Amino acid sequence: MHDENDDDADDDEDEDGDVTTDNGDSINNENEAVVNENMSDPQKASAETLQREQRLDRSLAQCWSLAERQKAGYYVRDSILCRNYKYLCQNYEQLVLPAGRRPEVIKLAHEVY
């Protein structure tokens, strides 16, 4: 797990709490409201929605930084943040989820049919 307050995080926050990412995206409370609205219905997810949610999720700032430097298995494919992970000699490709999507995925993973 990466600490979003780590010195390697390259996003800059101004006095209003707005954040500018390395690629110049501006993240503010208005953008977060749109993301929260989209996350209220997990069925409405799309590639564009996921891209936006990943970019606006402050908990992923360090992951984006690692991906830009091609470190710790993080990378970007089609503007979506992913991670390669090796466990017991098996390679896995992981989708990096924004914080707002994690509870739904955990719930789905634990459902018994």
Q: With bands split at pLDDT 50, 70 and 90, how would you rate the model's confidence at 8?
A: very low
Q: Alpha-carbon torsion 25, 53, 99, 34, what sign?
A: positive
Give the model's pLDDT for residue 42.
57
Task: Give the DSSP H/E element, type plus range, for residue 78.
Answer: none
Say yes or no to pLDDT of 57 above 60: yes
Mean pLDDT of 86-106: 94
12 or 48, greater pLDDT:
48
Q: Which amino acid is at 40?
A: S
Give the model's pLDDT for residue 41.
61
Mean pLDDT of 43-49: 79
